[in-house]
Structure 1
Amino acid sequence: MEASDSEDLFPSNVSHRPWLMQLHGKTDKQEFMDPDNHNTVERKIPLLKGNLCLGCFEDWLLLADKSTKATFFLHRTLDPKLKVYLPPLRGESFEHLGNCVVSSSPTSHKCVVIFVGRGRDVILYCRPKTNVSWTKVQLSIDPQGYHTFTGQVVKFKGKIYVPHGTKVAHRVVVINEESLLKGDCSWTIIQMPYRINGWSHLVVSGQDMFLVLVSTSTLRRGTPTSCTIYRLKTSDQTWRLAESMGGRVFFLGGIQSSSIPAAQAGKQRDCIYVVNQNYRLLDGEGVYKICMQDQTVSLSLLLKRPRGWRCNLCWLMPTRVNLKSKYETLSFSHSLGTDKYEERQVNKEGKKEEKCKIDVSRPWTDMPIELVQLLLPRLNLIDCIRLPSVCKAWRSVSNYIQDAKVHPWLLYSANDSCLLRLFDPIYGKEYSIDMKWFGLVKNLMFHYSRDGWVLASKENKHLFLINPLTRESFGLPDLDHGISTTMSFSSSPTNLDCVVFVVLFADFHVMEISTWSPGANAWSKMSFDNEFGLCVPCNPVFTQGEFYCYKLNGDMLIYNPKKKTLQTLAIKAPTEITGPIEMEEIIARIMQCHLMEAWGDLLTVFRKCAKDPLSIFKLDRINMVWSEVDDVGDLTVFLNHKTSLAKSCLEKSCRNLMYLSGFADEHSKSSASYFLETNKYYPKDYYHHKEPMNCIWIEPSLAA
């Protein structure tokens, strides 16, 4: 095979933009995925058959032959003559090798290859040009063995940085490379800014090193809910919040992480592509695209995971420079109380024509107040808010807010310190809410909403109930310990019988239910043996005086706040759980669920994975079973993993429709949706769906 033959094996533009390569190992067919265009290209590459990919360093692939234990560098031209062999890894398991770093080109005599073990504090290193065996170094960073190396390793300014912890890293071990090679290894420890339920990635970008913390939904699955970037200050080895990514793009996860300028990648600047290696076990691997400028996330692609073989994912970076990115920065144009209308429109022939202008000779004051009152139920909330400003006579209209046609809006935070966004899915308009009265909302996390109020938190500890439209807020006592999995509340906190309901896990064997009501200075807590199983990330629903929430095995938990009793409802979630099955597969099968209440009925929506159809069920309380329904009549369903709502909608075009909590694509402001009548998504390609990371449906309310 000649070097030029690689152009027929790799995708044609692999040298111009990043691709994700998946080696299947047992076969000579490999997959290449474009994370933006969702293209999957399969190539037959005999030279890669039976090999694991251990790393990709500029133009070199580090491969391992599982049968012979041989490790070698192979140039990206796939020329078999361009190979650099490493000493054999005798007695070492590839599964425990972990990630590696390379000091320089494999052809250099100064090249050093360093492996940092996965799940153990072990380092292996060698010099390909001079060593005939690997040097093994056992470190005693945690003598008790509770914490070990985990995650990806990077090399930066003569030091090796590797995350350290249990299953989720909470600190970074910094190893001096020079001392390691001299046999007198020294290290220091840097604590991460805070612990997260999600992923942490180290990435070197230009002359800086960044720490990317991605929080995900409960149980570390589902879409990212927030993303924070820190820059390392090398003078004192501390993390400082990064204001920007410097116009670069990060490619995280897989075997290792990379960073290149947006122009070279041909991508939108300040975006992060991250591989979720735990993404819905039954469906395979997922790649999320996180846009830091507007704080949105989209599922870029979904990969099939081959069974019985360690699947390797590796980012292939471009080797040539594109002149400029084809993407433009997205911007938001609407603000609360103001809309921008175009004065011209384009017809099918491409000619511009003036909009029809109607000359209104009579003033609005001539319209009878009785007629204005009749129009109120057909006006949306924003139009009703503007009503008194039309003329002085209309200020006498009674109940102009209470009679407004109200439907749920999507509330989310963008990259602003004191602004929240509201998106109307039916009319496709977006508004901004000034939150200076509350303070900084950039790091405010939404958890649940009801009656116009939102249960939110700061720093995963301080809880608040806020009404963004009436500018009211209630501070709740801090949660002192445990991992919160689900939370909700029963009604507006202005009602004395309001109950805030939070499920905490002090440890794996104890479940704690905490409740709070207006006027209380502390949480009321009750502990239960964890025989019920962890709750799935579908918040509880309050109906008929009780909170309903799912267990992992599909059972329904019911908590009565007045009687303070917890029981299991003798029904099963409508999932395909048959025969012996692993717990992780049970989790995967019921993770995509939504629970809601409509007119006293309990509804649930299930989806196996992102591209599958949605199924909706209603609880038959007589026979205590879930019954699938083909349509929901005049209801409109608003789906979100934090709060889902089912409401009657006056717009006929919205009936029997499900709105997803996001936009149809990256450029339009139309809502992604699902039509129950046709069982089809809009847009039809689900991977174009773009969702704010921190968002929730809210029923706007101006009632005090």
Structure 2
Amino acid sequence: MSMMITKEKVENQTWRDLPLELLISVMAYLEIKDNVRASAVCKSWHEAAVSVRIIDQPPWLMHFSKSKNSYEIYNPSNGKKHTMELPKSLAGSKVRYSRDGWLLMSKNISSDFVLFNPFTMDLVVLPYLELWYGYQLVGFSCAPTSSDCVVFTIKDYDPGHVTIRTWSPGQTVWTSMQVESQFLDVKRNYVVFLNGVFYCLNIRNCLAVFDPSLRTWNVLDVLPPRCPDHIDDESWYEGKFMVGYEGDIFVICTFGNAEPLVFKLDLTQGVWEKRENLGSLSIFVSINSCESRTYVHEGMLRNSIYFAKLCDNETRCVTYSFDERRYHPSEHNINWGKQRSSENIWIEPPENALEIA
């Protein structure tokens, strides 16, 4: 008798009876209008819908003109563009990194590092630093308006050694240290600040960590992501991006028109796990900055990768949707050689983004 009651109970279960964790997973994929409708079904659906109803601004795309002293800002959520003048002192500068709405910039022929906010026009000139042939890896932890800001640079001066330099607000000189390491490559090094440390990835997909508080540098015992058999070594090194989200590190690998590969770092096992999709994440990639968002925002694709390139003659970005398993547009024509020399970069918009947009 009890078995019959249990069977009847199971057969009568509806979507309303789903465990909260499963409801939240489902709600995370809904657009804002569908999320609002779902929240009106019942108390448990309302709780699940509201818990993931995060309405956030996507990062904006910046393009620096090579012929003019200006830059263009593009909002991917509404396709609007804004052109702004670059300060004369920054003419000829290149973007090295972006975070919290600020840009780390320098000139190839000078030793000047500058933190620049393109929305407020605020400038922070960093102490003198000899560039030599340009630093192979640079980044910073947060906006220089915070005392926690750390600007991080690393370069190899002789085989087997790298020199790490850091700067924080209030310092008049760079703090320097040298460590034994064969880590850096001639090009294509990546850096992400997450969990209070700088994660660094090189062309061979080796991972290292610099802790600015302890001033320690460690090359981690993590096996690189495995190259697929159908991908040649040269292609494996192209079109790679690293991004952080809520304590996790992801590596995105792209190969022309082929489906991108996604790997998530599992530090406890010391491996990169291949992921079939991004779930509720949207990831925005460019050579000098990557951003990640999980939000319910009408008009934006979730479980997708946004590239720092606009479609020809259209005000929308080239994207790859894991839900549809295809690029938009299908013939996106991203040339990674040209992409690397371009000045397209994602940047976090200011809090008054709606006023600007």
* TM-score normalised by L of structure 1: 0.39
**1:414–1:442 contact (8 Å) kept in structure 2:** no
Q: What is the CA distance between 1:498 and its match in structure 2?
A: 0.8
Q: What is the CA distance between 1:634 and its match in structure 2?
A: 2.1
Q: Does 1:444 align with 2:108?
A: no
Q: What is the CA distance between 1:577 and its match in structure 2?
A: 8.3
Partner of 1:571: 222
Partner of 1:606: 253
1:441–1:413 CA distance, 2 compared to 1 (3 A): farther
1:588–1:512 CA distance, 2 compared to 1 (3 A): farther
Partner of 1:549: 200
SS of aligned partner of 2:315:
coil
Larger Rg belongs to: 1
Partner of 1:661: 308
Partner of 2:281: 635
Partner of 2:51: none
Partner of 1:491: 142
Partner of 1:529: 180
1: CA distance, partners of 2:107 / 2:184 = 27
**2:119 partner letter:** L
2: CA distance, partners of 1:694 / 1:688 = 14
Q: What is the CA distance between 1:593 and its match in structure 2?
A: 1.6
1: CA distance, partners of 2:136 / 2:246 = 27
**1:518 partner letter:** P
Partner of 1:328: none
Deviations 1:234-290 (A, max 9, x none): xxxxxxxxxxxxxxxxxxxxxxxxxxxxxxxxxxxxxxxxxxxxxxxxxxxxxxxxx
Bigger relative contact order (CA 8 A; separation at least 6): 2
**2:55–2:296 contact (8 Å) kept in structure 1:** no
The one of 102, 118, 131 aligned to 1:468: 118
Residues 1-150 of structure 1 aligned to structure 2 (within 5 Å): none
1: CA distance, partners of 2:127 / 2:238 = 30
Q: What is the CA distance between 1:487 and its match in structure 2?
A: 0.9
- In structure 1, the gaps of 5 or more residues are 1-377, 379-402, 579-584
4+ long deviations beyond 6 Å: none
How many residues are paired up?
292
Partner of 1:394: none
- The root-mean-square deviation of aligned C-alpha atoms, in Å, is 2.6
The one of 479, 489, 503 aligned to 2:129: 479
2: CA distance, partners of 1:487 / 1:451 = 15
User: When you count strand as a share of all residues, which structure comes out higher?
Assistant: 1
Report percent identity of matched pairs: 26
Q: What is the CA distance between 1:517 and its match in structure 2?
A: 0.7
Partner of 1:423: 74
Deviations 1:606-665 (A, max 9, x none): 12x333321111112332211122222222110112111111232254111111001112
1:469–1:420 CA distance, 2 compared to 1 (3 A): same
**1:685 partner letter:** E
Deviations 1:434-485 (A, max 9, x none): 33xx325441211111111111112353111111112211001233144411
SS of aligned partner of 2:236:
helix
The one of 429, 436, 454 aligned to 2:103: 454
SS of aligned partner of 1:654:
coil
**1:541–1:596 contact (8 Å) kept in structure 2:** yes
2: CA distance, partners of 1:518 / 1:466 = 14
Q: Does 1:644 align with 2:290?
A: yes
- In structure 2, the gaps of 5 or more residues are 1-31, 33-53, 353-357
Residues 297-696 of structure 1 aligned to structure 2 (within 5 Å): 405-415=56-66, 417-435=68-86, 438-460=87-109, 461-482=111-132, 483-534=134-185, 537-576=188-227, 589-607=236-254, 609-652=255-298, 653-665=300-312, 667-687=313-333, 693-696=342-345
* TM-score normalised by L of structure 2: 0.74
SS of aligned partner of 1:701:
coil
User: When you count helix as a share of all residues, which structure comes out higher?
Assistant: 2
Residues 180-195 of structure 1 aligned to structure 2 (within 5 Å): none
